[in-house]
Amino acid sequence: MKRWLAAVALGFTLAGAAHAAIDTYEFADDAERARFRELTQELRCPKCQNQDIADSNAPIATDLRREIYRMLGEGKSNQQIIDFMVDRYGDFVRYKPALTGKTAVLWFGPLALLVGGLVLIAVIVGRRRRVTQADGADSLSAEERQRLAALLDKNQDD
């Protein structure tokens, strides 16, 4: 009974993989196959968003792979294919978007936030140090110092 349940569970888990689409494209040479692989790994699936179109089983990824294959067959360059995809889906479709005015925030935003945070921390720490130094032991009156010394001497005697 346990073996039968294990076999059924295994069958259900593998059922999803059995329906995965497998693209079979014929390329003129290995260089064209390498270009196809490079392009499909460089472009992000618009539906999955965290997978490239080479690894995605989404229908749109299948369509994009087919479109790349068609464009390669027409003799288009890698840059022409990437430009077509960016025009159609935006800069988000590239894993490494080009540095432009629109994508500058993507490239420099995290660094600016980090530097801004470090400056803010430095300002806060600097202000606290100045306040601590101003309110430190030097601000005790002579009477307070004598009282403090008496308390310290009393504790040493005990």
Domain end, chosen from 50, 73, 93, is at 93
DSSP, residue by residue, 59-126 = HHHHHHHHHHHHHHHTT--HHHHHHHHHHHH-GGGBSS----TTTHHHHHHHHHHHHHHHHHHHHHHH
Distance CA 122, CA 111 (A): 17
Is the domain of 89 the same as that of 109?
no
Whether 99 maps to a domain, the answer reads no
Token duo for residue 114:
């980090």
Whether 125 maps to a domain, the answer reads yes
Is the domain of 7 the same as that of 58?
yes
**Structure confidence by residue, pLDDT tens digits, 49-103:** 788 898 888 888 889 999 999 999 999 999 999 999 989 988 888 877 777 887 7
Number of residues assigned to the chain? 158
**Structure confidence by residue, pLDDT tens digits, 23-33:** 677 888 888 99
Is the domain of 114 the same as that of 87?
no
Q: What is the CATH number of the domain that holds 27?
A: 1.10.8.640
Range of the domain at 125: 104-157
Enter the DSSP assignment of 95: S
Q: What total number of domains does the chain contain?
A: 2
Is the domain of 117 the same as that of 141?
yes
Whether 29 maps to a domain, the answer reads yes
pTM of the model: 0.55
